Amino acid sequence: MLLTFLLGLLANSRVYFIKNLLIKSFLGFYKPNLEEAISEDINHYNSYNDFFTRKLKEGSRVIDHADNVVISPVDGEIVDYGPLEGAQLIQAKKYKYPLIDLVGEENEEIFNRGFFVTIYLAPTDYHRIHCPFGGEIVNSKHLGTSLFSVNKTAQKSIPDLYIKNERSVLSIKSENFRYALVSVGASVVGSIVPFWTNESAQNRKSLIDEWNAGPDKNCKIKKGDEIAYFRMGSTVILILENYSNIDLDSLKENKLVKFGDKLVSFKN
């Protein structure tokens, strides 16, 4: 946590030399596509974190607005998916972990016969999280205390990784089904910032309080709306209420997806 705190100070630094050095180092190592960013000029960004959480240019993503389609909430790679057998999810094909520990007791019964999709965000990916299907936010909470890395090596070597790490859980109700969107933090700068937070609530404790308080009552969001963003990392896990009516033809392990792409669709 001390390392995370110290590196967080650097990542938030507005000192011109420090923030530009960090951004240039990132660009040299990862070579992200800045052509789709809201600004290609690194001097536009106030800090490394401001750059890392950069928004997209309008039109950079095409959102599938079909009524029966659930879109990918993020850019990333599908690393795991499947039915929740025995109310458990699978991590890296080898570890099982309980749904109740991932989403909390109040959500377990709703999703214990559901279907999950885990998407890993690499450092080069766009790090904002969007609504995969329109509905009303009925529950919001923050869980977990650790900030392990969530890269592929960690996925294969740390059991219960996603229930150890800090994470936010949103439960959303559409007209026909419920789903949960779990955003998992990662090492170094692991904060997850919800869309309803104010600018003063930027430290870890205040963000945790924001997640547990949730947005205003009867808060409705539309497909494609921004929900939150990662300051570093990470992973999202989408859990659908019932998989019996889901067309899974579009799912494939190690498939790269972009925010707005069709993830799954409903048969009827």
Known catalytic residues? 75, 130, 234
Range 107-117 burial, b when 16+ CB lie within 10 A, else e: bbebbbebbbb
63: left (phi over 0), alpha (psi -120 to 50) or beta: beta
Under a CB-based contact definition with an 8 Å cutoff, are residues 177 and 115 in contact? no
Under a CB-based contact definition with an 8 Å cutoff, are residues 78 and 90 in contact? no
Cβ count near 268 (within 10 Å): 6
| HSE toward the beta carbon, residue 12, CA cutoff 13 A | 13
Both tokens assigned to 226: 């921004």
